[in-house]
Each structure stands twice: as structure tokens, then as C-alpha cells.
Amino acid sequence: MCGIIGYIGPQSTVEVLLGGLKRLEYRGYDSAGIATAHDGTLHVLRSQGKLDNLERQVGSRPMEGHYGLGHTRWATHGRPNEENAHPHRDCTKTLVVVHNGIIENYLDLKSRLSAEGHRFVTETDTEVIAHLLEKHFRSDLEQAVMETLKELDGVFAFATLSARQPDTLVGARNGPPLVVGLGEGESFLASDIPAFLSHTRSVMYLDDGEVAVLTPDGLRLVSHEGKEIKREPARITWDPIQVEKQGYKHFMLKEINEQPRAVRDTLLGRYSLDTGRIHLDETGLDDDSLKRTRKISLIACGTSWHAALVGKFLIENIARIPVEVDIASEFRYRNPILGPDDLVVGISQSGETADTLAALKATRDRGVTTLAICNVLGSMATRICTGTLYTHAGPEIGVASTKSFTTQLVALYLLAFKLAQIRGHLSPEESQNVLAEIARAAHVMEQTLLLAETLEGIAREFHLASNFLYLARGPLYPIALEGALKLKELSYIHAEGYPAGEMKHGPIALIDGRMPVVVLALTGLLFEKTANNIQEAKARGARIIAFATEGDRRLEQILDEDRDHLVFLPEHPELISPLIAVVPLQLLAYHISVARGCDVDQPRNLAKSVTVE
């Protein structure tokens, strides 16, 4: 939801800003803009649409300066046109602001500032920040920011630069992320680390309620109340090469193919096959409190919510603890019943999804233990929660989640095993068996990825369909939901995921000769029941794309060679089916999207991190 980048240093500011925005474009791509300070003047360039448009403008109108700000927008307030593109200016055009989030009291502020004579030229909420800064600026930008913060309500991160004090960048955080990068004689301010990862791996996260003041002399961190904060920078292990496409046509395809590596990394060092022990000490949750846990709530949004749905199956089946699953935006407003011995687990790739954070904060404030399953080191979710179980997917750039989903599943398997061991539901020997099965997952995924060509062929055949139905049962039902979501997000084809047994209670009415029905019918997992559902769909004319397990040829008797498709997934233990079955559905959605000429990595209207409600 909007990406911010700021730079102070000797390099070409415009190049640094554009490079940073390229890495932040996953956060929104409705418009982009940059501003630099040079010779006491601010130079601003903005463009509607993707960053390419801005880059073209920069090519024809070079900008100088060693201080600058950039922004890529996901529109909330105001249409996605050039006028509403950031950076926004005050009346004097001597200061600029870039902003991520929502200023909730902007209408009140706008009418008050208008009455005081300020002229508004955009439809955005952000513009009030520029005018407030103008109003409060006497001789120091930091002081103007402090005064301005007192008047703003909402969740926001912003950064500002003034021609009247051009050697200073100030950023403030109250919700959405801001992170400082500290290089040799240069500093960066950004919404996310990949924005400056090719320049430095030394980072400092801002907490809520903090302000960063960047000057050529370095960084000063202060609270919104003006109290000095001392913090050591953290060193990021992500490699800059990880945020490149490395020869793949799209980030999404690269990230789908990275899943075996990501799964291995997420398992690494967390179990011993010899003893069957699981090591999750890093979460900070002690065995006694896990043993006392009476109920678990899994909360998340989007694809992470689908991981939570699989997590319910895993934890209930393996550890025998009741699990509730909630969409975070529902959980936070439904006054859930929580007890002192409950555990609330927030699942979030980014660790910055506004609804998930709000739900976790509300839970923490009620004194309930919270655990984050998260991919981004030091992100807000990890700061709110009692403990964190990191996934090690590495940076995910494609807007549609892939490797973050499978690594979330791995984290949930580990949590389920750990809980089961502590509560006496898994003996050391049984633990060794399930761990051996999960240890095979990466290898089976590698074999599954070899189906890419088959799926590309199926995609070419079905890419003009208007509707898809995805069916599955048990722990594969969330995978059907995820397959349908991937297809909707990437190709704009309407798709629904349904528990196969529920098909006859509604979706069956949609089925006709034009409707492809994707069915996960793996061995075990209620195969016969799912096969019956395939028959029911076929009886109404559906064309079936079925996924079965290698060696199990029963569906061949049901399916028509000339109308249907039967794709065999490599033989694997039933326990890891959710991890394996999602891979071909990701590939199917990817290839359908490519066949339709859609923008795979940046689907319309979406953003990777949703930092507003």
C-alpha cells in the first residue's frame, strides 16, 4: 500500500530513487513520483500508472540533487491520476511529502486549513500533511514534523523534505513500516528493505511513534514526544541477488520455482531426525505455556488465511487442540472469546497487514499470548507478538503469494508437531516418521515443478474460460481456495474454491459445458467421495482438470480423454499433500495469466502489503 523511498548521499539521487521504487512497486502501482532538492529548489516529477511512465519522463527531464524522496502509490483517497500522485507540496512549493496509510481526520484538517488560507489542489488525504508542515515550519523540519504529528489521526508513515533545509530528511511512523538503511556516507529511508538492499544491509526499523531524522552526519531517532532513542542497526542476511529475476520471465515464476529451497530453509535447524525433537526455542514460547494452551486462534488475511485453514487441520489432527480460524478484519471486530490459556497466532508474510496487526494488538492488550508466523525480520507483527516463528522464504516480490504460502505451511507443520510432542500425542518414534515425511517435501516439490509444461498446455486450452470452479476436501479444500484465488488475482477470471461435498448446495447450478472444474483428488484424503463429486460435475457437462497421485489410475475410468485432463502428482505421503498440491495450481494460474497477456507480477488493483483497513 504505497512505497516510500528517501535518500541522502553522494550517488545520483534520481537513480537511487528509481531503483528503490522498482523494488517497492509491489506495494502499489497506480502512480509514481520523485522529488529532489537542488540549489534551494525542489524538483518534482510525477506520473500516472506504473513506474515506466515516470522513468520515461525522467529520461527527458534529468534532475539533480543529493537529497530526494520517491513514492509509488496504491490509491485510497483520490483517483489514481497524476494530480493525486505523490510527492505532494504545500502552498509555497518549498516542501514535499510522501505518505503511506490513511489520515483519518483529513476532512476536518482540510476544512480548518482551507479556512486559514491554504490552497488544496488534490483529492488526497496526504496533502493535509504538507499544509500542516508548512504551517508549523519555523526554521527546523524536525520541529515541524513533531507539531504536525500532534494533529494527525490514523495509521500512516510519511517522509518529508524541504528546500529551506535541504540537508535533512524526516520520516515518521504510526502504523505502516519505515526502515532506515545506513550506508557509507549515505542513508536511506524506505517502506521495505529491498528498496535499498543493493546499497546496504545495515538497517534500523522504526517503531510506531518514532521519527527518523536523516542528515549528512547520520541518523537521529526520536519518539513522537521528542525523546532521543538509541538502537543498534540490524544486519540483513538477504542477498541483493534474491530480489532480481535471475533469468525468469516473472518474479512469480522464479518464486514458484524457489519453493523447494524456501521449504528447506524454513525447516533448517528446527528438527532432528535422529531424536525426533523439534527446536522452536527462538519463538520464546516455553513448553509449559504451550502445554497449557486450551485453544488456538489463527488469524490472517488473503493467502495467509488459506495457510491458517490448513493449519487448523494440522494442529487439530496432530496435536488435538481446538483451533479457530479467522479472517483478521472479522476477528478484530467480533469480540472473540479469549482466555488466559489461549494462543493467538497471526500469520503474515509481510508482518504489516493492517487488519492482522490490529487483531494482534487487541489480543496482546487483553493479555493473551501471541505468536507471529512471519517472513520479514523485525516487521511490526514480530514486534507486537510474544514470539515469532520466522518463515525463511526470502524476499517475495510477485504480488501474488507463492513461496510465502508454502513456507507458512511448513511453520504450521512444525508448530503442530511441537504442540503434539509437548502434549504427548507424538512419541519420539512417531515424530521421526512425520519429520521424515516433511523432510521429503522439498524433493517432491522439485518433481512437481516438472509438470510446468503440461500445465502450460492446459492453460493454453482453457485461458479463455470465464469461470472456474476448484473443488477439494479436507486439508486440500484450502488449497482449492488458494488455487481459485491465484487464478482470480492473476488472470481476472472468476473462480471459486469449494469443499467438494458442498458443490451440490449451490455451485452446481453454475456448471455447464463451458465450465472447467479443477479437482484435487489425491490418494487417501476421501478420494472416493471426491470421485463421486467429479461424476456429478461431469453429468452436468463440466470439463474436468483433475489432479491425482502417481500410480493411482482410478480416475481414468471416469474422465474422457478428449474433454478432460488428468495430471499425476508425484507419489508422496498424505501428510504433505497440501504443500505439494498447491504447486500445480500456482503454475496453472501463472500460465493462464501469461496466455491472457496479463501483468503477472503486478495484477490490477492489488498490492502486496495492505497497510490500510
Based on the residue annotation, tell me whether 385 is a catalytic residue of this protein: no
Report CA-CA distances (Å) from 20 to 91, 181, 290, 539.
Answer: 28, 12, 42, 54
Q: How many CB atoms lie within 10 A of CB 508?
A: 18
Cβ proximity of 304 and 349 under 8 Å: yes
Contacting residues toward ligand G6P, per CB under 6 A: 301-304, 348-350, 353, 356, 399-401, 606, 608-610
Least gap, CB of 337 to ligand G6P (angstroms): 24
To ligand G6P, the closest distance from the beta carbon of 607 in angstroms equals 6
CB nearer ligand G6P, residue 257 or residue 303:
303
Please say which residue, 72 or 609, places its beta carbon nearer to ligand G6P: 609
Q: How far is the CB of 350 from ligand G6P (least distance, A)?
A: 3
Assigned C-alpha cell, 163: 528546500
Q: Tell me which residue has its CB nearest to ligand G6P.
A: 302
Amino acid identity, position 581 = A
- Cβ closest to ligand G6P, residue 315 vs residue 610: 610
Q: How far is CA 147 from CA 91, 117, 135, 152, in A?
A: 18, 19, 9, 10
Q: How far is the CB of 353 from ligand G6P (least distance, A)?
A: 3
Closer Cβ to ligand G6P, 530 or 602, answer by number: 602
CB-based contact 180:187 (threshold 8 Å): yes
Q: Are strands 295-300 and 323-327 parallel, antiparallel or unpaired?
A: parallel
| CA distance readout (Å), 475 to 312, 520, 584 | 9, 11, 16
Per-position DSSP letters for 349-394, written without gaps between them: SSS--HHHHHHHHHHHHTT-EEEEEESSTT-HHHHHSSEEEE----
Q: How far is the CB of 155 from ligand G6P (least distance, A)?
A: 15
Nearest Cα residue to 213 out of 181, 171, 184: 171
* Residue 70: strand, helix, or coil: strand
Q: Would you say 318 and 576 are in contact if contact means Cβ atoms under 8 Å apart?
A: no
Q: Please, which residue, 303 or 533, has the CB nearer to ligand G6P?
A: 303
State the DSSP string of 515-560: -EEEEE--SSTTHHHHHHHHHHHHHTTPEEEEEEETT--GGGGTS-
- Say if residues 129 and 97 touch (Cβ distance below 8 Å): yes
Which of 190/399 has CB closer to ligand G6P? 399
Comparing CB distances to ligand G6P, the nearer of 345 and 399 is 399
301 is a catalytic site residue: no
Name which of 12 and 353 has its Cβ closer to ligand G6P.
Answer: 353
How far apart are alpha carbons 342 and 340 in whole angstroms? 6
- Segment holding 15, helix H or strand E: helix 13-24
**Which of 110, 135, 254, 608 is an active site residue?**
608
Contact 295/363 with Cβ under 8 angstroms?
no
CB of 1 to ligand G6P, least distance (A): 9
What are the residues whose beta carbons fall under 8 Å from the beta carbon of 442, sequence distance 6 or more?
259, 260, 261, 263, 264, 267
User: Across-strand partners of 160?
Assistant: 97, 170
Q: Which three cell numbers stand for residue 447?
A: 518433481
CB of 355 to ligand G6P, least distance (A): 8
CA distance 548 to 382: 38
As measured in angstroms, the least distance from the Cβ of 304 to ligand G6P is 4
In the complex, what is the shortest distance from the CB of residue 314 to ligand G6P, in angstroms, rounded to a whole number?
Answer: 18
| 3-class secondary structure, 329 | helix
The residue among 19 and 302 lying less far from ligand G6P, judged by its C-beta, is: 302
Among 2, 301, 374, 598, the one annotated catalytic: 2
Catalytic residues, which ones?
Answer: 2, 608
